[in-house]
Amino acid sequence: MKTVDMNSQEFKDEFEKTWSFVHKVNKSFGWVQNPNEDVNEGVAMGLARNKLMYGKRFCPCFMVIGETKAEQKAADNRICPCKPAIEKEIPEDGTCHCGIFCTPEFVESQKKTK
């Protein structure tokens, strides 16, 4: 498994690409980011790390299973935005398991409770 230096230029570049990816996904689905910036930062860092380590933006909240690409595909690892988030979590809960993608209604409800 590849290791990632989170202070490297390679990671910083991928982290920027990941933010572009997150904004593109939000726009595509009509979602918004979590109002908690710490959640967004942590998830985006995990997505960038997984992209560098595995070549895909696997959800950072779940362990990536499999050493090879074939094993990873067979294990049905979650690739962001994952099918469970799109089909169940966000429509039912207003946010994905990792918390970076939310419905506007979810974000408004969070603002009201604080």
Q: Which domains are assigned to the chain?
A: 9-113 (3.90.460.10)
User: pLDDT band for position 29 (50/70/90)?
Assistant: very high
Per-residue pLDDT at 57 exceeds 80: yes
36-42: average pLDDT: 96
Q: What is the pTM of this model?
A: 0.92
Helix, strand or coil, per DSSP, at residue 101:
strand
Helix, strand or coil, per DSSP, at residue 47:
helix
E strand or H helix that includes residue 57: none
Distances in Å between the alpha carbon of 15 and those of 41, 56, 104? 10, 13, 24
Q: What percent of the chain has pLDDT over 90?
A: 85
Q: Give the position of tokens 């603002």.
A: 111
Per-residue pLDDT at 110 exceeds 90: no
Average pLDDT of the residues of the chain: 94
Q: What is the pLDDT of residue 1?
A: 63
Per-residue pLDDT at 73 exceeds 80: yes
Residues 6+ apart with CB under 8 A from 36: 99
Both tokens assigned to 28: 């595509």
